[in-house]
Amino acid sequence: MRRTSFADMNCSVARTLEVVGEWWTMLVMREAFSGVRRFDEFQGRLGIARNVLAARLQRLVDFGILERRLYQERPERYEYRLTEKGFDLYPVLLSLMRWGDRWTAGPEGPPVRLVHQNCGHEATSVLSCSECGEELKPREVRALMSGTGRPLLDREA
Amino acid sequence: MRRTSFADMNCSVARTLEVVGEWWTMLVMREAFSGVRRFDEFQGRLGIARNVLAARLQRLVDFGILERRLYQERPERYEYRLTEKGFDLYPVLLSLMRWGDRWTAGPEGPPVRLVHQNCGHEATSVLSCSECGEELKPREVRALMSGTGRPLLDREA
């Protein structure tokens, strides 16, 4: 039941999905961002089969998103730490959460709230422009092919 | 080969993955954000089997992310338009793209670049705080359970 590989598509979205598109991967990452490091703790919190979890963790290690580190010698025990590449998935995680908060939360509201410690406020995440700081809205952004500078969908072509 | 349903988990990330976690879904959305509306155009651009595409589109319609609209009467033809709920997935898409640009692009660099029309600059996306506008970094954000106000991972519990 393996699907087409996305890795060969020349698209950053497809290539990212090739890495994080497995069902459980982003939930493993959610736990890692919460501070979970040890196999048994991932397992207990996710309620996931051990063999599935082991495969997901190994895949994340192979991709350089988590790093496996020895924390005890007898018996040997390892923990899983986010790498820089892993930390860099934070915007993906928060964007998934933000959408779910808006569109899937029950009457009791979102289950988790975020406090931005730098400003001290309860906050939500906003996707903004690296240059002017304004929110990036789909109708105000043009996507251009890097090579040709043409629009991604060239209606005149 | 169906996995556990994420919809029952009280977590906005899990619930979002329940909706957009299918392999092809975010690529269908990528095309929709590029302006693709018609079945044959989705099909041609994605190189995806027609039955798989039809199932994905139907699922997105069922979830209220795309809307199916009649655009021609004889023969009847429909197009698929993003709803507000669909447009709201833009931060997820751009965050996936941003990570892929950083970590998966080949030596030729990212395949697509974004121009923010409001400021006129080539831009990347930054996840920022709704309150102070600064970038949200994982070590500077605390996630708290809405009910209890306790940290998501309570080391003192």
Q: Which residues contact B58 (CB under 8 A, 6 or more apart)?
A: none
Which tens digit of pLDDT belongs to each residue from A105-133? 888 889 899 999 999 999 999 999 999 99
For residues A5-30, give the mean pLDDT.
80
Q: What is the ipTM of this complex?
A: 0.91
Q: Across chain B, where does the E strand assignment appear?
A: 66-72, 77-82, 112-116, 121-123, 125-129, 141-145
Q: Out of A122, A125, A146, whose CB is closest to B112?
A: A146
Tell me which of A29-43, A48-62, B5-19, B90-104 is least confident.
B5-19
Establish if B152 touches chain A: CB-CB under 8 angstroms.
Answer: yes
From CA B20, how far away is CA B59, in angstroms rounded? 10
Indicate the fold that domain A12-87 takes in CATH.
Arc Repressor Mutant, subunit A (1.10.10)
More confident residue, A10 or B87: B87
Which tens digit of pLDDT belongs to each residue from B111-132? 899 999 999 999 999 999 999 9
For residues B37-60, give the mean pLDDT.
92
Contact A123 B116 (CB under 8 A): no
Judge whether residue B72 has pLDDT over 80. yes
Which tens digit of pLDDT belongs to each residue from B75-86? 999 999 999 999
The pLDDT score that the predictor gives to residue B63 is: 92
Phi, psi of A142 (to 5 degrees): -105, 135
Which tens digit of pLDDT belongs to each residue from A70-101? 999 999 999 999 999 999 999 999 999 999 99
**Cβ-count burial of A118 within 10 angstroms (0-12 exposed, 13-18 middle, 19+ buried)?**
middle
A85 and A61 Cβ atoms separated by less than 8 Å: no
Report the mean per-residue pLDDT for chain A: 89
The pLDDT score that the predictor gives to residue A2 is: 44
Q: Out of B111, B116, B137, whose CB is closest to A11?
A: B111
More confident residue, A156 or B120: B120
Q: How is residue A129 annotated by DSSP?
A: E
B33 half-sphere exposure, CB direction, 13 A CA radius:
28
All residues of chain B having their beta carbon less than 8 Å from the beta carbon of residue A27 are: 6, 11, 13-14, 17
Contact A122 B113 (CB under 8 A): no
What is the pTM for the complete model shown?
A: 0.91
pLDDT band at B14 (very low <50, low <70, confident <90, very high): confident
B contact residues 12-71, partner A, Cβ 8 Å cutoff: 12-21, 23-24, 26-27, 30, 33-36
- What residue spans define the domains of chain B? 12-87, 97-140
% of chain A at pLDDT higher than 90: 65
The pLDDT score that the predictor gives to residue A146 is: 87
